[in-house]
Copies of this chain bind each other. A is one copy, B any other.
């Protein structure tokens, strides 16, 4: 009974991630490049910055989850360490959209290769010592927190839709 529930609960968490990614895909597909260049609210992040930010944070999950190297490490500086600035030089919007798809599909492939027991292993930014007392700092928890992060920004990106 518990073993079945174990698999089920991992699937529930991964499904929530995939649903959130899919909803963001659909939203991004509905937004023109012109829309993505607009700010979500006056003097706030624009759509391109949020897209780059999401790609960079998802890409960093490759390292955090021990899957391998990030695909586009150069995005971390302009889209995570630095705040949004107008007229910043970035990859083209079509490149960013392609990176978004590539990073998420690579993660999904790695998720499918991960066993139940591996999900309970520590993620790479916690030490072995700390993990003994903080076993919740495992790989699965990264999925929970990054799904929440994605929903937070999806709630912002949607403001670009039907914007006045």
Q: Give A contacts to B, CB under 8 Å.
A: 2-3, 5-6, 8-13, 15-16, 20, 40-44, 120, 135-136, 140-141, 144-145, 147-149, 151-156, 159, 163-164
Name A's interface SS: helix
Cβ distance A141 to chain B, nearest Cβ, rounded Å: 5
Residue of B5, B120, B145 near A120 (CB, 8 A) is B5
Give the nearest-CB partner of A149 in chain B.
B151
A11–B138 Cα gap in the complex (Å)?
13
Give the nearest-CB partner of A120 in chain B.
B5
Give the nearest-CB partner of A160 in chain B.
B41
A140–B15 Cα gap in the complex (Å)?
13
